[in-house]
Chain A
């Protein structure tokens, strides 16, 4: 429910470990709203979201510790360098990452040598890569990714695909809103299509 418009109703689904959910639908169909409901930023107008059988409202911080949400706004500070961005975001999520580990992760994302530049000097795609580097160092079970493939080149999309595959093999869940097809070799793929 956004404003007085009903985006979707009667939505009922369960996701088990090792499952990839691809969320599709035209612009404005409520993909972002659904992801924000799933991560707890937006309370659902009706119904509830459960994690391990308990309502996420009652789990509170316990649930948040299991989730990584990447929105279509990167969550990257322009004034900070890529390494600083990555370290601070993780520290606030309770994971202390050393400088070396951070630049190694950024190197894997194809940002070697650019990780100490202020993020405002990076291109849109590079900033997206900085945001995605979080997925390499976090140890959360549920990934909620909102349009993360926009402004990424082919090699970066392949990288994201292998990241998600590894995550699923480790028993994780990924729910991804995207317009592009992501063909995964590992895990089960579910498709959830929202219509207007």
Chain B
């Protein structure tokens, strides 16, 4: 069942590739603007790199969150998904997983490449990759709650950002913290463990919260 939902959403995303690519391009461009604007001061660039890459990832996922349920809502398929004989949180989990694969994984993969512009060492780039790999599921999971709550509202896109971005702060602190620790030469593992713990907590709670929010939005 979960398999069908993920497969459906991946196929829909593939048929609308432009949406997926725009998120990736947004991320690459925002991250690249900083080295261009600041100039070749490697010390400064290294200092700001963790924050810049992570904030750009947060903003890029804002772009795709609005579409998570909105398209299904408009053509009536979301109603049908609610009326399938399976727990709604499974449907939500499937859609969130598909969103992560489509919108977040490309960012994770391309982040080490754009990180090179900030004169980061090889180990730090790996830590950047690992922190995003652990942290981006949090963005999809918590973001899905915001997307479900703002479904069908006018100006939902802005509202999602206001609702969800503050909830991203722990992920941002520990994610950027891990990269920063690696630049300083200390072990990033405490930060990564906390990030992982936060990911597990959001995996446990957000599908239920999203399911409840969807029921309210579709009444």
Which A residues have a C-beta under 8 Å from some C-beta of B?
A: 39-43, 61-62, 64-65, 67, 69, 71, 73-80, 84, 88-89, 91-94, 118
Query: Is the CB of B38 closer than 8 A to any CB of chain A?
Result: no
Contact between A75 and B15 (Cβ–Cβ < 8 Å)?
Answer: no
Q: Which residues of A lie under 8 Å from residue B1 when comparing CB positions?
A: 91-92, 94
CB pair B77–A41 under 8 Å, yes or no, is: no
Contact with A along B19-49 (1 / 0, CB 8 A): 0000000000000000000000000000000
B11 at the interface (CB under 8 A from A): yes
Residue B119 at the A interface, CB < 8 A?
Answer: no
Residues of A contacting B: mostly: loop
In the assembled complex, the CB of B191 is this many whole angstroms from the nearest CB of chain A, namely 39
Interface size class of B (residues with CB under 8 A): 20 to 34
Determine if B75 and A94 form an interchain contact, defined as CB atoms under 8 angstroms apart: no
Q: Contact check: which of A41, A67, A118 meets B219 at CB < 8 Å?
A: A41
| Known A93-B84, A93-B85, A94-B85: A76·B75 in contact at CB below 8 Å | yes
With a cutoff of 8 Å between Cβ atoms, the chain A residues found around residue B76 in the complex are 71, 73-76
Bound CA–CA A176/B5 (angstroms): 29
Residues of A within 8 A of B11 (CB): 79-80, 84
22 contacts between A and B (CB under 8 A): A41-B82, A41-B219, A43-B219, A61-B86, A62-B85, A64-B83, A64-B84, A69-B79, A69-B80, A71-B76, A73-B74, A73-B75, A74-B75, A74-B76, A75-B79, A77-B12, A77-B77, A78-B75, A79-B12, A92-B4, A93-B84, A118-B15
In the assembly, what is the distance between CA of A64 and CA of B83, in Å?
A: 6
With A75-B76, A75-B77, A79-B12 known as contacts, the answer to whether A65 contacts B219 (CB < 8 A) is no
